[in-house]
Amino acid sequence: MKHIEADGANANGGRGMSRRTFMAAAAFAGVQVAVFGLAGCAPKNAAAQAGGYTPGTYTGSADGKFDRITVETEFSDSAIVDIRIIEQRDTARIADAALDAMPARIIAAQGLGVDTVTGATLTSMGIVNAVANCVDEAGGNASKLKKIGASEPTGATETLEADVVVVGGGASGMGVAIASAQAGKRVIVLEKNSNIGGNCLVSGGYLEYLTAPESARPDMTPELHRYVEEVLNSDVAASTDPAYVEQVRAQYDAYKASGSTKLFDSQEFYALDFAATTGEGLPVDAYLPGAANISALNDWMTELGFDWQTPTHLITGYAYPRWSNPTSGVCGEGYFDFFDGVLAEGGYDVQVLLATTAQEITMDGSTVSGVVAVAEDGTTYNVSAPTVVLASGGFSGNGDLLREYNTMWPYPEGTLTTTNVNGHTGDGIVMARKLGAAVGDMGNQMMFPFNDPITFSAENVSGTFADSPIVNKQGKRFLDETADRFEMTAALMEQEDSLCFMVSDADSVYVTEASPGEDTLLRRGQLFKADTLEDLAKQMGVDSHAFVTEIERFNAFAQAGQDEDFGRYLFTDISVVDTPPFYAAPATWAAHITIGGLEADNDTFAVLDESGQPIAGLYACGEVRNGICGVSSIADGVAAGKAIFAA
């Protein structure tokens, strides 16, 4: 529970928060964080405009991003005295800034027109609307209060110095920040949202665990042996250097000769597998540097005490079970819990400026000299540093850039939705392009095929990815549910309204910890539930006979281990849908990852210009650079920090 008193004190620590406050070890241990944007003093006529209040404590609720936010608001006859958040389920590291700041802003302003917290808009508005309900219950006028409270920009300018400025505090940004700090450098991280974590916080949190010991690997089933053979005999393998394929074949033969019963894997097989099965269209050698960096990251994290979730498993669009997660937090939160501990124990010189957007890379002649950034409260920061690392992510949240570079998708008219958190709009690419930086493969844009149509979050889609059958609005299957994301998205785009349903039963209805509860999903139309398949079809709005016939046909395929319609052969003991109650989760596609980006040297991470020459002092890691994406961007960041500051 968050408990904010009228003077801005917090029951969790009793600290007052000014417009700009530096707090050592506040948002996470060992890091200094700048917090911006609290509203100014309350207007004297706020209570009068609201009509005065009947003193007491009132409870109100409104929808946040994932579920209802419930607040208790205490009133005197003339003021909002106290606001307590008593229930909410939004993503912790994203929502926490709003849960802390919004009650304080409302109380300070005595108004509901206060600024929302950057990167947590839906949570912020949920709090405002819940308090508005309390205002009306107390006899006030919430509509009038919504015109009171917006803050004015400060107009201040400050100058800061560091050895390295990192633009972006997500997976790759925190990776390069920690690695740079381990090399003894002073680091400033500029993060445009009010939290670190970036897309990692709304991803599944899945990271390849290539160096997993046998005890952490699942059993190597006949189906997985078949999978390896298909990769070795794929068209990509046939067009790859035969010596390379023979190397992988020799590794596989040695593995079989060893008598191991656990999952086979290697860096070389990983690269061949990704090239052959992901649908990204890249050659094998494009994946080799990443495989090496991921392996190095696996060992680095293990040495620092990271706790891996085991056994490894598959994920949507990647059927080979080499993926793991943190054991703490939901989605990717656990990685940043881990970073908290690393920074606290190391005592590193890392300063993070939250809600601060990088706007320009400055130059001294032909050499990078720093970054100009503007904070949420209007403060301009001129950050001087000889090294600038762009870790600002891709551009899945920028519909104009997606369309400009699109070469593969039949995008519809109107807004393009995204799974990404706020801010992934290609800022780093745009700034670097102004300096003459080259880009590559920008049309290689990955969609995520199954997101709920309200929040565009995969975590709200109930069922079991790569297991549960998927049907369209006619109640018919239209794809292999274990195919790659490109193939599945293309198939979904051909369906009516680009809408599908993931169908599950009592054994496979898995809802992630990040999802709201079943009752909320049912209330908001993000899930349907029935005791019979016929009744489920009626709720879905599909033809009952066609739907039941299709599920029975799928069940027969799952039991036989071979799909006659789409060639699927990877099934498990929960694939069959036959145990009531039955569930259907509506889903659609959304922009997820941009694989192309800035051209950067794979060894030095230096950003290259159009002639292939490095731009002095400018580096890039993570999704902002060509060929890198996903949670494994952490590996790219750590490798970049080590490479840039190698002795």
- CATH number where 186 lies: 3.50.50.60
Phi, psi for 535 (deg, rounded to 5): -70, -35
Whether the pLDDT of residue 314 is over 60: the answer is yes
Residues 340 and 423 in one domain: yes
Query: Using 50, 70 and 90 to split pLDDT, how confident is the model at 204?
Result: confident
Residues 455 and 544 in one domain: yes
Residues 449 and 423 in one domain: no
Residues 161 and 192 in one domain: yes
Instruction: Tell me: cis bond preceding 283? Omega within 30 of 0 counts.
Output: no
22 in Cβ contact with 34 (< 8 Å): yes
Domain-embedded: residue 399: yes
What per-residue confidence (pLDDT) applies to 150? 85
Domain-embedded: residue 179: yes
> What separation in angstroms does the CA of 582 have from each of 8, 379, 524, 526, 555?
48, 54, 18, 14, 14
Whether the pLDDT of residue 30 is over 70: the answer is no
Q: If we measure between CA atoms, which residue out of 469, 451, 479 comes closest to residue 505? A: 469
What per-residue confidence (pLDDT) applies to 340? 87
Domain-embedded: residue 629: yes
What per-residue confidence (pLDDT) applies to 24? 28
Which tokens hold the place of 65? 């991003």
Query: Using 50, 70 and 90 to split pLDDT, how confident is the model at 478?
Result: very high
Residues 455 and 511 in one domain: yes
Residues 167 and 112 in one domain: no
Query: Using 50, 70 and 90 to split pLDDT, how confident is the model at 1?
Result: very low
Which tokens hold the place of 155? 């107009």
Query: pTM, whole model, 2 decimals?
Result: 0.83
Relative orientation angle of helices 121-137 and 92-109, to the nearest 10 degrees? 40
Query: Using 50, 70 and 90 to split pLDDT, how confident is the model at 28?
Result: very low
Residues 167 and 114 in one domain: no
What per-residue confidence (pLDDT) applies to 280? 74
Q: Which residue range is the domain that position 580 belongs to?
A: 445-593
Please tell me whether residue 201 adopts helix, strand or coil conformation.
helix
For the stretch 65-105, pLDDT in tens is: 888 999 999 999 999 999 999 999 888 888 999 999 999 99
Domain-embedded: residue 363: yes
Phi-psi category of 405—alpha, beta or left, where left has phi over 0 and alpha has psi -120 to 50?
alpha
Residues 452 and 561 in one domain: yes
For the stretch 177-191, pLDDT in tens is: 999 999 999 999 999
Which tokens hold the place of 123? 């949570």
For the stretch 162-182, pLDDT in tens is: 999 999 999 999 999 999 999
Going by C-beta distance under 8 Å and a sequence separation of 6 or more, which residues neighbour residue 162? 185, 186, 187, 188, 351, 383, 384, 385
Provide, rounded to the nearest whole percent, the portion of the chain with pLDDT above 90. Answer: 80
Domain-embedded: residue 247: no
Which tokens hold the place of 590? 């959304």
Domain-embedded: residue 243: no
319 in Cβ contact with 480 (< 8 Å): no
For the stretch 321-366, pLDDT in tens is: 999 999 988 889 999 999 989 998 988 999 999 999 999 999 999 9
Q: How many domains does the chain have?
A: 3
What per-residue confidence (pLDDT) applies to 31? 45
The DSSP 8-state label assigned to residue 483 in this structure reads: S
Query: Using 50, 70 and 90 to split pLDDT, how confident is the model at 51?
Result: low
Residues 72 and 193 in one domain: no
- Residue indicated by tokens 């009626």: 538
Domain-embedded: residue 282: no
Which tokens hold the place of 281? 């269209």
Residues 411 and 484 in one domain: no
Tell me the average pLDDT across 1-10. Answer: 28
Residues 612 and 510 in one domain: no
Tell me the average pLDDT across 554-567. Answer: 96
Q: If we measure between CA atoms, which residue out of 461, 439, 378 comes closest to residue 609? A: 439
Give the Cα separation of 290 and 391 in Å (integer): 16
Going by C-beta distance under 8 Å and a sequence separation of 6 or more, which residues neighbour residue 263? 212, 217, 218, 219, 220, 224, 312, 321, 322
Q: If we measure between CA atoms, which residue out of 449, 421, 494 comes closest to residue 589? A: 449
Domain-embedded: residue 267: no
Which tokens hold the place of 175? 């990776």
Q: How far apart are the first and last CA of the chain?
A: 48
What per-residue confidence (pLDDT) applies to 457? 87
Q: State which of 146, 166, 186 marks the end of a domain.
A: 146
Give the helix/strand (H/E) hosting 647.
Answer: none
Strand partners, 190: 167, 353
Whether the pLDDT of residue 434 is over 90: the answer is yes
Residues 581 and 481 in one domain: yes
Q: Residue 456 is part of a domain; what is its CATH number?
A: 3.90.700.10
For the stretch 106-161, pLDDT in tens is: 999 999 999 999 989 989 999 999 999 999 999 999 999 999 998 888 889 999 99
473 in Cβ contact with 550 (< 8 Å): no
Give me the amino acid identity at 464.
T
